[in-house]
Amino acid sequence: MDRFVPLGNEALAQGALDAGVSGLYAYPGTPSTEIMEYVQRSAEAAERGVHRRWSANEKTAVEAALGMSYAGKRAMACMKHVGLNVAADPFMNAAVIGVNGGLLIVAADDPSMHSSQNEQDSRMYGRFAMIPTLEPSDQQEAYDAARIGFALSEKYNVPVLVRMTTRLSHSRANVTRRDSRPENDLNVPAHLRQFVLLPGVARVRYAQLIEKQPCFEQEAEESPLVRYMDGPDKSLGIIACGLAHNYLMENFPDGCPHPVLKISQYPVPRRLIERLVEACDDVLVLEEGMPVVEEQMRGFPYDDGRVHGRLDGTLPRAGELNPALVAQALGREAPTLFLVPDVVTDRPPQLCQGCPHADTYRALNAALEPYSKGRVFSDIGCYTLGALPPFESINTCVEMGASITMAKGAADAGLTPTVAVIGDSTFSHSGMTGLLDAVQAHAPVTVIILDNETTAMTGGQDSPAHGVLEQIVGGLGVPEAHVRVIEPLPRQHEANAAVIAEELAYADVSVIVARRECLETARRRKRGQA
């Protein structure tokens, strides 16, 4: 055994390696990205031949991990919380179909939306799919969660969800490593029809999943990730879920005087909750994200007013928790936090100096001058910053892949021309099917693929469309004459604006690839070559 000081994401990744994982599948997205990056840098993973390449999107990541599980190996699929929406189809069906080798599905939630378009709680997905869910409260538990999760997965033949949150993912602490476990041998399922979800098989498998629910709850009652800690002051009992336990203990460095139930494994340990409720006058529920546990305790329409948390305003309904908010809920003076030095000042987000997207937006704005405002549909990536001054070029940003289909819908409504702006990685993630819809409908949509040859927003990961965008677009049915490539540079401004204007006048689908390498990845590449 040895000790190291990893990020929470890195602890989980090393825990998976030490637990014998054979394959890691992921799509980059803050705050989950470092899990895959750690395994990609790992010399141990390279020596063992652990699979560790980025997937086209979260759905394909879960499906590939499920395939590795089918073959008897331990596998892990990682994504940010909104990625689990993309992967919801295989995720829900994997709960019914089961697994062969251990399967962990990791969703990193982003409460307070530091870099996300919404705030959602992946524990809801765990309840929805009726599978065990782990929510580490610190880096050591993040490391241990991989081993515990794989063991649970193989014991009950179900996938296990691991929920991380931003502060845990991106903070460091000491972790003690356990002995390494060898990878599983190649081994197909004993029941070969298990993975065939014909209705007759699915009904049997679903009934088996329901029968396992009491076992999952018993596992949580006895889990090392769940602890009941008694205290002398029974005026209040505290349920602290996941990272919220750290915020509680920062308020009581010498020990909490109240009974505390720490929960880092679900379904909720009902008997332990009943013990706490019976022992204490009131109960405060601390949980990061949505009031998942608090809602289960309140029992609509009856509520005796003893349970407090996000639903009654004791804590804010939205956003991250922190030690100060927990102190306020406890009626205590807030602990001293680090003050922000004067040298750190707020500034609005903006494109990097010299970013190729800036030159594309200038050309697009020039080409759109003859038309009314409000006809540019965007996607998610660095280029979303084109909504802000000085560009103010885009009018929408909803979810990955929505730009082309929203532009098509607006064209269907009679708004012509319309423009879809999408990045090269996002296009391969979920833009291709939207383009196929537009091609089939001969929709008057001009698609601009901002090809900076990387997935820039999350740090420069590979994109599966790199080097083959024109072939993909052509294969989806866009005529060769209307697949145009421009180089977004200031000296090309007039020519680029003219190309965009020509395609805006074309009454069918056209695609313009605006290609220039991201400055940040270019700098890193050159430093690597030096």
The owner of tokens 């000042």 is: 345
Phi, psi (5° rounding) for residue 267? -65, 160
Taking the C-alpha atoms of residue 285 and residue 408, their distance in angstroms, rounded to an integer, is 46
Closest CA relative to residue 413, chosen from 443, 370, 378, 387? 443
CB 428 within 8 A of CB 457: no
The pLDDT assigned to 530 comes to 46
- Kindly tell me if the per-residue pLDDT of 346 is higher than 80: no
Helix 323-330 with 244-251: angle, nearest 10 deg = 60
pLDDT of residue 343: 78
Kindly tell me if the per-residue pLDDT of 3 is higher than 50: yes
Contact criterion met (CB below 8 Å) for 162 and 12: yes
Give the pLDDT confidence score for residue 520 in this predicted structure.
86
At position 226, the amino acid (one-letter code) is: V
Q: How far apart are CA 128 and CA 121, in angstroms?
A: 12
- Position 316 pLDDT exceeds 60: yes
State yes or no: pLDDT of 394 exceeds 90. yes
Average pLDDT, integer, range 115-125: 93
Q: Is the predicted pLDDT of residue 128 greater than 70, yes or no?
A: yes
pLDDT at position 1, please? Answer: 54
Most confident of the ranges 330-344, 451-465, 506-520: 506-520
Give the mean pLDDT of the chain: 94
Strand, helix or coil at 46? helix
Rounded to whole angstroms, how far apart are CA atoms 220 and 271? 10
The tokens describing 389, both together, are: 């001054």
DSSP per position, 473-513: HHHTT--GGGEEEE---GGGHHHHHHHHHHHHTSSS-EEEE
CA 55, 59, 64: angle at the middle one, nearest 5? 60
Tens digits of per-residue pLDDT, 258-314? 999 999 999 999 999 999 999 999 999 999 999 999 999 987 666 788 999 999 999
Of 164, 151, 187, 123, residue with least CA distance to 13: 164
Q: What is the pLDDT of residues 360-382, one digit of tens each?
A: 999 999 999 999 999 999 999 99
Contact assessment for residue 397 and residue 369, using Cβ atoms and an 8 Å cutoff: no
Q: Which runs of E-coded beta strand occur in 328-431?
A: 376-378, 418-423
pLDDT in tens, 58-81: 999 999 999 999 999 999 999 999
Report the sign of the C-alpha dihedral through residues 252, 253, 254, 255, in that order: positive
Looking at residue 464, its pLDDT comes to 85
- Helix or strand (DSSP H, E) at 13: helix 8-18
- Percent of residues, the chain, with pLDDT higher than 90: 87
Beta strand ranges found along 130-226 (DSSP E) = 133-134, 160-165, 175-176
Residue 249 has pLDDT above 70, yes or no: yes
Give the tens place of pLDDT for each residue, 21-64: 999 999 999 999 999 999 999 999 999 999 999 999 999 999 99
As to burial, measured by CB atoms within 10 angstroms (0-12 exposed, 13-18 middle, 19+ buried), residue 347 is: exposed
pLDDT in tens, 401-449: 999 999 999 999 999 999 999 999 999 999 999 999 999 999 999 999 9
The whole-number pLDDT of residue 458 equals: 86
Q: How far is Cα 511 from Cα 420, in angstroms, rounded to an integer?
A: 9
Q: What is the pTM of this model?
A: 0.93
Res 529: pLDDT: 59
Q: What are phi and psi of 372, to 5 degrees?
A: -70, 165
Average pLDDT estimate for 334-353 = 79
Quick: pLDDT tens for 518-528: 988 888 888 87
